[in-house]
Amino acid sequence: MIEVVNAFVDGNALLVTERVGSEMRKLRLRPEYSFFVRASDLDEDFAAMLRGSRALLAMKREGDWVRLCWADEWTRKAMVRGRKAQKNWSRAGEEEKAEPSPFQQRGIQTFEGDVDPVCRWLTDTPDARIARARRGYGDLETDSRCTIVEAKQGKARVVAIGLSSEDETFQWKDVLREWTDAEERRIIEGFFAQATQCGFDQLLFWNGEDFDFEVLSKRIERLGLDVDMRMKLWLDHMVLFRRMNLNSSDSGAEKQSMALQAIAQSQIGEGKEEIPPEVAARWPGRSLGSLTYELWEAGGWFRDLLVRYCMKDVLLMPRIERKTGFVALFDTLCDACRVLPDSRGLLPTRQMDGFMLPLAAARGHRFPTREWTDEESKPFAGAFVMAPKIRGIAREVHVVDFASLYPSIILTWNMSPETKARDLPVNGPIPEGYCRSPKTGTGFSTAVDGILPIALREMIRLRKEWSEKAAKLPPGTPEAKEAQRWSMAYKVAANSFYGVVGSPFSRFYDRSVAESVTQNGVWLIQETISAAEERGMRAVYGDTDSAFFQGASQTEVEAFVKWCNEELYPSLLAKVGCRKEHVAIKLAYEKAFERIVIVEKKRYAGVFRHYKGTLAKPMPAIGEAFDPARHSRPEIKGLEFKRGDATVLARQLQEAVIMDMMRGVERLADYRSHLERALAHVCTEDLPIGEVQQVKSLSKRPKDYHRKTPTGKDAEVPPHVKVAERIEAAGKSLGEGARVAYVVVDGSDGIEAISAEEYRGECDRYYLWEKLVYPPTMRVLEAAFPDEDWQTGLEKIRPKKQKPTADQRAVAKADAVGQASLFTALGDPALANPAPPVAASSEAKTTEGGAAVLSQELEWEMRWRE
């Protein structure tokens, strides 16, 4: 057994680091640039010609295949793809013609001709297994006078570095003593020496892919250090956290920022480092992270502060890991999928490569070389979502769902690129030895198990094995936790397979297979719903793999699920040709909602009666405070409460209303008072930035958003992009994936917004209410009480524009930004004073606003009673 710690190609060597007991050993191997062809495709003449080629290093017969090993990557590429047409600019007018490779000329298909030497070696060395990495966590501070872009170009000196072991018993930090190259060389070399001495193979940095790793590599190059970055596995803890947390985060609060401080706050309750008064006094309004040079330059206590700040960030990471266990799970996943645990190992395409290639090779199967196409791939149809059939607050709604629907479908229909039937009629009788996807007509051979089902069955088997092992071990022990991680790793990997098959960038891409997976899902859930309705149950909603039913008791639903599994599916699946021993479709009775309100497709809130047979805790009674020990929280899907791009005010109001609905509040006046309180707050009180900001991420660089309108003008870019450009104009750079926090200061005619940092308490409160806070809650109320008239008079509060004179135009603008005329909206003209509202003290504002709100509340109460 070879325990592989690391492996990379260095020139013409494949360097593998292996752990043997407590020793590290280095293997120096030849990197293999190979592909396979079918032995039957290779005639004697061509084989002889190849043998004579100096570029071919080896040719080996392996079963039905011939393995051809080439001198280098360039040669292999030319043999696989031929030479592309190239414009030769040096010789004007001349163009080099495209030249197909000898394999292309003969129409010989190549297989696995894009696999890199590390993956190739891991695939061909069944003895090799990915070692559990020893983890170190690090952070570095660079010269704050440089922009991020400059720093990533290697122009910013590294000022300080911190490093810690996972258990924090080892901690190391260093800072420049002089502003010289020699000093920077000393601390960077020190960092690597410490990491190596501690035996860290894997180094985790927060946002490392987008900053630290690039900076380090550029500085190493610039300073000419004798350090090889490739000797370590670099893993971006932030990217890892984001991927793993996608499935488990609940409220919108956690989704606003991926900053280390924000994640630390939500995960371990460890907050931001307070800015010491000395710093605030000397550099008002600046964050510690933006002052690295200044703190260093000030020396003494300030320089120590810089180092403490750096080290604090380092230590947050192992603490987050102790809470989440995400890195340990990832390491297990890498072990299971035979990929190295660095940032690239996070990509599902690589994980599937790592799992599938060896498994297929052992069964004599090879995959076609991955084609590189610029063409847009045709989209394919996905899941079925039923339009909600109920209005109002429904009682006793039962939910059934399929266990791991897509993997089960792949098993049941024996779906795999190589089992896919060619020339099978899309309808009519199904020939013996085939099954068919009823909605796409795509058929699959059932004679030999497909490689994809084999892989999935293996994963499911291993998952079960580890779950059983975990159950036998004393709970909470490291062994039990490790067994649970294995079980979870196989689940994660198995669930990502369908997505990889649907991705044009993967070697397993097959559009018709992917579409048949989703469409078999559509067929199954629709058949289930029809069968239920025939038995008198009413389907009220369903999404992809679930159906929501009314009009049946718990016992009846249980009986229905049993009947589906024992009779319905076996008979349906036999009719489409699936073999009995392949059938893996299983319906489960997942839960029942005591109360549920479905606002739209994919948007609902409900409270459980039971979950997987376990009786749920009740909601707090009306008027009773929420106590997590005794009460359930409602399950909320898709609504603004769950969304990081909604304002906090919108989420709070929506949550308050949902909590009341779920505990049975029926008096509409109670809901109204929530609205009124919120409106009064929005209109008249101080609004901290955290309550009013919207957060959206950039899916590309800001400049890439610009385009022309159909009429040829420059089109407006989305508000968050405009703000990103304001931020960039102020000297900070924002790239793809950056999150922009912003506040709308005038939404009366188009959107005018500022960045959250520029916010000084002034925003367009009309816009905030009319567009951000009120509608999400109103949609829930309208769904819950559809027969009420929800013309509350609260939906539009911005005063109408009257034909303004030149003079008045200026005032109108001030109005939109300020709040004076809000008092008009609240119905008290006496308070509608256009004098500068911003200058008023917060106390005065609250008092005035309070009075205005009170009169309004009375008025509503009266209208309500009528």
* Residues at the contact surface with DNA, assessed by CB under 7 A: 243, 246, 252, 255, 347-350, 379-385, 496, 498-500, 502-506, 514, 518, 599-603, 637-638, 642-645, 695-700, 705, 709-711, 713, 715-716, 718-721, 739, 744, 747, 750-751, 771-772, 775-776, 779, 801
**Can you list the alpha helix ranges (DSSP code H) found in 338-450?**
348-362, 405-412
Helix (H) or strand (E) segment spanning residue 698: none
Do the beta carbons of residue 560 and residue 532 sit within 8 Å?
yes
Residue 363's alpha-carbon distances to 64, 357, 360, 500, in angstroms, are 11, 10, 5, 21
> Among residues 218 and 439, whose Cβ is nearest to DNA?
439
Based on C-alpha coordinates, what's the Rg of the chain?
A: 32
User: Kind of pairing, strands 752-755 and 128-130?
Assistant: unpaired
What angle do the packed helices 326-337 and 478-501 form, to 10 degrees? 60
Kindly state the smallest distance separating residue 140's Cβ from DNA, in Å: 25
Kindly state the smallest distance separating residue 453's Cβ from DNA, in Å: 18
Ordered DSSP codes for 225-266: -S--GGGSEEEEHHHHHHHHHTTT--SGGGGS---HHHHHHH
Backbone φ, ψ for residue 491 (5° rounding): -65, -50
Kindly state the smallest distance separating residue 443's Cβ from DNA, in Å: 21
Kindly state the smallest distance separating residue 562's Cβ from DNA, in Å: 29
Q: d(Cα 737, Cα 471) in Å, to the nearest integer?
A: 40
> Among residues 381 and 830, whose Cβ is nearest to DNA?
381
Q: d(Cα 477, Cα 490) in Å, to the nearest integer?
A: 20
> Among residues 61 and 801, whose Cβ is nearest to DNA?
801
Q: d(Cα 165, Cα 172) in Å, to the nearest integer?
A: 9
Q: d(Cα 406, Cα 456) in Å, to the nearest integer?
A: 11
Kindly state the smallest distance separating residue 84's Cβ from DNA, in Å: 16
Residue 330's alpha-carbon distances to 175, 335, 348, in angstroms, are 32, 9, 12
Residue 591: strand pairing partners: 399, 611
> Among residues 166 and 353, whose Cβ is nearest to DNA?
353
> Among residues 217 and 697, whose Cβ is nearest to DNA?
697
> Among residues 125 and 207, whose Cβ is nearest to DNA?
207
Kindly state the smallest distance separating residue 609's Cβ from DNA, in Å: 23
Q: d(Cα 797, Cα 845) in Å, to the nearest integer?
A: 18
Kindly state the smallest distance separating residue 494's Cβ from DNA, in Å: 11
* CA atoms within a 13 Å half-sphere pointing along the CA-CB vector of 511: 7
Tokens of 532: 């239920």
User: Kind of pairing, strands 202-205 and 538-543?
Assistant: unpaired
Q: d(Cα 701, Cα 497) in Å, to the nearest integer?
A: 30
Q: How far apart are the first and last CA of the chain?
A: 82
Q: d(Cα 815, Cα 798) in Å, to the nearest integer?
A: 10
> Among residues 555 and 709, whose Cβ is nearest to DNA?
709
Do the beta carbons of residue 252 and residue 643 sit within 8 Å?
yes
> Among residues 120 and 173, whose Cβ is nearest to DNA?
120
> Among residues 184 and 353, whose Cβ is nearest to DNA?
353
> Among residues 382 and 827, whose Cβ is nearest to DNA?
382
> Among residues 277 and 710, whose Cβ is nearest to DNA?
710
Nearest in space to 680 (alpha carbons), one of 560, 825, 790, 553: 825
Do the beta carbons of residue 582 and residue 415 sit within 8 Å?
no
Do the beta carbons of residue 272 and residue 263 sit within 8 Å?
no
> Among residues 243 and 732, whose Cβ is nearest to DNA?
243
Kindly state the smallest distance separating residue 796's Cβ from DNA, in Å: 10
Kindly state the smallest distance separating residue 741's Cβ from DNA, in Å: 10
